[in-house]
Amino acid sequence: MNEAQSNIFLYLIVFIAILFGAIVFVVIRSQIKKDKKAPEVTAGRDAEEAVPEVTQTKTQIQIPVDEKKPEAVEAEVEPNLHSALKKTEENFFGRIRRAFLNNDKKVVLEAVEEILYTSDLGPGTVEKLLSVVEEQLSGKEMAKIDSVKAALRTQMIDILSPYHPETALEKVSELGKRAASGPTVLMIVGVNGAGKTTSIGKISAQLASQNFKVLVAAGDTFRAAAGGQLKTWTDRAASHSTEGGSVEIYWPENTTDPSAVAFDALTKAKSLNIDFVLLDTAGRLHTQSHLMEELKKVKRVMTKVIPEAPHETWIVLDANSGQNALLQAKEFNQALGVSGVILTKMDGTAKGGVALGVVDQLHIPVKLVGIGEKIHHLKSFDYKDYVDSILG
């Protein structure tokens, strides 16, 4: 091998070495890159897999229970008049508020008129409230919604205040006339399914928890299951008695005459030193004149035992029946002289405005409001709270 040949051979070796070095460099570099990426990829996959795993684990440690918690808490939140009237507020003042977003007074007035007429208030009451809104719109400027609200509030308070105590009376025993001595008799009337029996159960529980002795008379001799339903309620109510309080039921078998039940119950109540007698009656339509006559007779018969009885006659009205509730109250009042209203099922109805109509047109006070199905879901009517609730 001459010198030229050995130079070429040397260059070839150097070239191969460089090429080999370059290949090794590239391989190592790519390996390093891979290694760098590898943990990320793994972490990513791990993370991806971890999500279901974690979820699964959480599920195993009863996350569903955690998820249910808010619901459970919500279910336990005690209703009050304000929460019960949420839908009424939306249906009434919520719509008025939206009507006032319009700048055309004529359009606003028309909208308000429609809202009022569809709010179960009754025509007379609608006119009173409408004139308040008209007055607000009579100025040059577009009326401010806050001043409309204040004016409506004043008008509503004017309607309700003459018939209700300034501050709501907490005790159910103070809501009506009391007997000077002997039993005070409350007669509970109303159409089918309004909530008479349920309300009697709730009232009994309150009275018994305030140390009173209560006798509940099963005057619904018409419906087969009525006595049993009343018994369930009186048992429930009895469990709320204080030591001095009690709840008993007078439920004679095979009696079909409600007057006889009322007569015997009052006689028994007198002899047992009962404080309150609550008389349940069968539901009836205000249009069924023979059944209205039956109630008149029950009332008459009671005076033979206690001349002032019943001390109070309360009609139970289902708030959902809207304007029909007004008609019911009117007819029962004409037949019996109703002294108070128990407005039930205020929870969940958008028709709570009916209280205003009843008071305005019939001048009968609302004594109690039903805001749920549980035994303590009956509250004294607080008219200011009511007005503030429906005006939001």
Ligand X SMILES: Nc1nc2c(ncn2[C@@H]2O[C@H](COP(=O)(O)OP(=O)(O)OP(=O)(O)O)[C@@H](O)[C@H]2O)c(=O)[nH]1
Footprint of Mg ion (CB under 5 A): 196-197
- Candidates 86, 164, 196, 311: give the one binding ligand X (CB under 6 A): 196
Residue range at the interface with ligand X (CB under 6 A); choices 18-26, 103-111, 188-196, 303-311: 188-196
Query: Of 96, 77, 168, which Cα lies nearest the Cα of 353?
Result: 96
Binding partner of 192, given ligand X, Mg ion, none, CB within 5-8 angstroms per partner class? ligand X
Is residue 321 involved in binding ligand X (CB under 6 A)? no
Is residue 283 involved in binding ligand X (CB under 6 A)? yes
Q: What dihedral angle (degrees, nearest 10) is formed by the CA atoms of 333, 338, 340, 343?
A: -40
In the three-class reduction of DSSP (H, G, I as helix; E, B as strand; rest coil), residue 133 is classed as: helix
CB of 257 to ligand X, least distance (A): 17
Is residue 94 involved in binding ligand X (CB under 6 A)? no
Binding partner of 370, given ligand X, Mg ion, none, CB within 5-8 angstroms per partner class? ligand X
Element (H, E) at 246: strand 246-250
Q: What dihedral angle (degrees, nearest 10) is formed by the CA atoms of 229, 327, 343, 197?
A: -10
CB of 44 to ligand X, least distance (A): 54
Is residue 183 involved in binding ligand X (CB under 6 A)? no
Which of 75/225 has CB closer to Mg ion? 225
Which of 46/373 has CB closer to ligand X? 373
User: How many residues sit in the footprint of ligand X (CB under 6 A)?
Assistant: 21
Query: Of 91, 145, 85, which Cα lies nearest the Cα of 115?
Result: 91
Residue count (the chain): 392
Residue 318, phi then psi, degrees to nearest 5: -80, 120
Which of 91/155 has CB closer to ligand X? 91
CB of 360 to Mg ion, least distance (A): 28
Query: Of 357, 384, 386, 380, which Cα lies nearest the Cα of 368?
Result: 380
Which of 115/317 has CB closer to ligand X? 317
- Candidates 238, 372, 383, 391: give the one binding ligand X (CB under 6 A): 372
- Candidates 136, 184, 197, 246: give the one binding ligand X (CB under 6 A): 197
Check: CB of residue 181 under 8 Å from CB of residue 307.
no
Query: Of 364, 249, 258, which Cα lies nearest the Cα of 315?
Result: 364
The position carrying tokens 């309700």 is 160
Which of 127/385 has CB closer to ligand X? 385
Residue range at the interface with ligand X (CB under 6 A); choices 51-59, 94-102, 287-295, 343-351: 343-351
CB of 218 to ligand X, least distance (A): 11
Query: Quick one: how far is CA 249 from the chain centroid?
Result: 29
CB of 350 to ligand X, least distance (A): 14
Q: Is the peptide bond before 365 cis (omega within 30 degrees of 0)?
A: no
Give start and end residues of each alpha helix (H) in the chain.
3-60, 63-76, 81-84, 86-89, 95-99, 105-117, 123-137, 145-160, 196-209, 226-238, 258-271, 289-302, 323-336, 354-362, 383-390
CB of 61 to ligand X, least distance (A): 37
CB of 270 to Mg ion, least distance (A): 25
Which of 300/376 has CB closer to ligand X? 376
Is residue 192 involved in binding ligand X (CB under 6 A)? yes
Which of 24/285 has CB closer to Mg ion? 285
Is residue 187 involved in binding ligand X (CB under 6 A)? no
For residue 307, the number of C-alpha atoms closer than 13 Å in the C-beta half-sphere is: 2
Check: CB of residue 83 under 8 Å from CB of residue 379.
no
Which of 45/374 has CB closer to Mg ion? 374
Is residue 340 involved in binding ligand X (CB under 6 A)? no
Identity (one letter) of the amino acid at 330?
K
- All residues at 6 or more sequence positions from 1 whose CB lies less than 8 Å from its CB, including other chains: 9
Is residue 368 involved in binding ligand X (CB under 6 A)? no
Binding partner of 294, given ligand X, Mg ion, none, CB within 5-8 angstroms per partner class? none
Is residue 392 involved in binding ligand X (CB under 6 A)? no
Query: Of 359, 350, 377, which Cα lies nearest the Cα of 315?
Result: 359
Interface ranges with ligand X (CB under 6 A): 190, 192-198, 220, 223, 226, 283, 316, 344-345, 347, 370-373, 377
